[in-house]
Amino acid sequence: MSVIDLNQPATPEIITPLPGPKTKALIERDKRVISPSYTRGYPFSIDRGRGAVVYDLDGNRFLDFCAGIAVCSTGHCHPEVVQAIKDQADRFLHMSGTDFYYESMADLAQKLSDTAPGNTPRKVFFTNSGTESNEGALKLARYYTGRDKIVSFYRSFHGRTFGSMSVSASKVVHKKRFSPLLPGVFHTYYPYFYRDPIGRTPEECADNCIRFIKEFIFKMATPPEEVAAFLVEPVQGEGGYVVPPPNFLPALQELAHQYGILVIADEVQSGVGRTGKMWASQHFEGFDPDIITSAKGLASGMPLGAIIAKEHIMTWEPGTHATTFGGNPVACAASLKTLDLLERGLLENSQTQGAYLMQGLKALQQDFEVIGDVRGFGLMIGMELVTSRETREKAGKLRDDIVDACFYEGLLILGCGENTIRFCPPLVITQPQIETALRILRSVMERLTSV
């Protein structure tokens, strides 16, 4: 059996009104006991899944084009990942890598070091989530440089614990009433050229962002000698699946090197094959971040994150940073299998099917004036909804309506940014499944925009 051939149906099958009775009952129960801070949109409840196909509690079948927010990289319950988890669970569930040794931790760290951009050997600290990875990376940057300031970007999202929340700047609701935040954080512009008010080229927009750091932040806000790190998403996720121009990240790195500043690439969403390369950073020639943070797809759905730092940077002494659960052996086993599957075909599938999906969305764009920019790499693709391509005004409500309507047709997608639909299906997605998704999208858009 090929690593992709999971015998997955190519179409959804909706057999009850949505939500069905069991889902309805669950939502009622859930409302009574679950924190209202979660951001549930349409009423989907999962019973089980395989590949890019999921079933709800009422037996309805859906195509999953969000993969548990870009987490189920190898698809739902890939049989080889499930087997690796079972095998490890039979041996031991936990021992704490903080105090003891086990093989899978070292094996996985070695693999991550080997796959990282550049040829510098790396060391790894394992966490349980994206926010923990970023939190730890910020600590490491301070420790290594002896500096305290951080520069990060508008529209970026790095997580919800205090450090990560402080460096994020995608939606104010994430910060509302949680201050005081981490001091010494400066936000600046990410080259979001589609919406550039004076129509500069992408490269000019990138140059301008770098100029802003030099001429404003470094002259008016903080001396560069006090900056520990630039924290940047190589492709912005939550902020709208924004791809920077090719010159941006190398220029940012050059500026960093000039002042002894570290570059931290937050690859929590964009990493682990999502963009058709192991790391999105590898799409930008010469870009070799000092620290990479990972989580989400790293272990196919098991909670695991990683801080992957150049060897000479990860030199903090024993006791400075540690964790009880980070690098849990079951999660490490799932992750080793995930990386194995990437090598054996999923990385290639991410490129091939990503190109196919991109082509399909571009064709859709030709027919719908309300589709603005379509951008991305591999299976990380964003599609903006606008009132018209001429004005490029954001059409957030239309985006929400499309996302909702697709659910009722059996297609699970999610939004990001103010007016973008994100497509981040599992890396096992098949061409027939993409064809179905495009067909559903087209019919929903025809209905909602009455073309």
Ligand X SMILES: Cc1ncc(COP(=O)(O)O)c(C=O)c1O
Per CB under 6 A, does 268 bind ligand X? yes
Greatest CA separation found in the chain? 63
Q: How far is the CB of 69 from ligand X (least distance, A)?
A: 6
Considering the complex, state which of residue 237 and residue 273 has its C-beta at the smaller distance from ligand X. Answer: 237
| Contacts (CB under 6 A) with ligand X, residues 2-61 | none
Which range binds ligand X by CB under 6 A, 3-11, 155-163, 196-204, 376-384? Answer: 155-163
Which range binds ligand X by CB under 6 A, 57-65, 266-274, 311-319, 431-439? Answer: 266-274
* Interface characters, 223-242, with ligand X (x: CB under 6 A): ----------x---xx----
Q: How far is the CB of 155 from ligand X (least distance, A)?
A: 11
Per CB under 6 A, does 415 bind ligand X? no
| Count of residues that interact with ligand X, criterion CB under 6 A | 14
Which range binds ligand X by CB under 6 A, 6-14, 264-272, 325-333, 385-393? Answer: 264-272
Closest CA to 3 of 75, 63, 64: 75
CA atoms of 230 and 147, how far apart (whole Å): 12
| Contacts (CB under 6 A) with ligand X, residues 131-150 | 131, 134
Considering the complex, state which of residue 44 and residue 153 has its C-beta at the smaller distance from ligand X. Answer: 153
Considering the complex, state which of residue 161 and residue 208 has its C-beta at the smaller distance from ligand X. Answer: 161
Q: How far is the CB of 264 from ligand X (least distance, A)?
A: 11
| Contacts (CB under 6 A) with ligand X, residues 293-352 | 295
Q: Rounded to the nearest 5°, which phi and psi values hold at 401? A: -65, -40
CA atoms of 149 and 418, how far apart (whole Å): 29
Pairing of strands 291-294, 227-232: unpaired
Chain position whose Cβ is nearest to ligand X: 130
Considering the complex, state which of residue 268 and residue 437 has its C-beta at the smaller distance from ligand X. Answer: 268
What are the strands of the beta sheet with 291-294, ordered from one edge? 122-127, 305-310, 291-294, 262-266, 227-232, 149-153, 185-188
Closest CA to 157 of 147, 167, 144: 167
Answer positive or negative: Cα dihedral of 435, 438, 440, 446.
negative
Please list, in sequence order, all residues whose beta carbon lies within 8 angstroms of the beta carbon of residue 34, skipping any fewer than 6 positions away. none
Which range binds ligand X by CB under 6 A, 145-153, 209-217, 261-269, 348-356? Answer: 261-269
Using an 8 Å Cβ cutoff, are 427 and 346 in contact?
yes
Q: How far is the CB of 71 from ligand X (least distance, A)?
A: 8
Q: How far is the CB of 304 from ligand X (least distance, A)?
A: 10
Among 104, 115, 129, 152, binds ligand X (CB under 6 A): 129
Considering the complex, state which of residue 156 and residue 351 has its C-beta at the smaller distance from ligand X. Answer: 156
Using an 8 Å Cβ cutoff, are 389 and 372 in contact?
yes
Q: What is residue 243's DSSP assignment?
A: P
Instruction: Count the residues in the chain.
Output: 451
| Contacts (CB under 6 A) with ligand X, residues 347-376 | none
Per CB under 6 A, does 269 bind ligand X? yes
Considering the complex, state which of residue 132 and residue 288 has its C-beta at the smaller distance from ligand X. Answer: 132
Q: How far is the CB of 131 from ligand X (least distance, A)?
A: 3
Bridge partner list, 306: 126, 294
Per CB under 6 A, does 159 bind ligand X? yes
Pairing of strands 305-310, 291-294: antiparallel
Q: How far is the CB of 128 from ligand X (least distance, A)?
A: 8
Q: 103-107 — which CB contacts under 8 Å span 24+ positions?
A: 104/329, 104/332, 104/333, 104/336, 105/327, 105/329, 105/332, 107/332, 107/336
Per CB under 6 A, does 127 bind ligand X? no
Please list, in sequence order, all residues whose beta carbon lies within 8 angstroms of the beta carbon of residue 121, skipping any fewer than 6 positions away. 113, 310, 311
CA atoms of 252 and 171, how far apart (whole Å): 24
Among 49, 68, 130, 245, binds ligand X (CB under 6 A): 130
Answer positive or negative: Cα dihedral of 86, 91, 94, 97.
negative
| Contacts (CB under 6 A) with ligand X, residues 73-112 | none
Which range binds ligand X by CB under 6 A, 34-42, 106-114, 265-273, 354-362? Answer: 265-273
Please list, in sequence order, all residues whose beta carbon lies within 8 angstroms of the beta carbon of residue 202, skipping any fewer than 6 positions away. 191, 193, 245
Which tokens is 269 given? 């969403």
Using an 8 Å Cβ cutoff, are 258 and 204 in contact?
no
CA atoms of 95 and 164, how far apart (whole Å): 28
Q: How far is the CB of 161 from ligand X (least distance, A)?
A: 8
Which range binds ligand X by CB under 6 A, 8-16, 129-137, 206-214, 345-353? Answer: 129-137
Which range binds ligand X by CB under 6 A, 78-86, 126-134, 362-370, 390-398? Answer: 126-134
Pairing of strands 53-56, 61-64: antiparallel
- What residues line the site for ligand X (CB under 6 A)? 129-131, 134, 157-159, 233, 237-238, 266, 268-269, 295
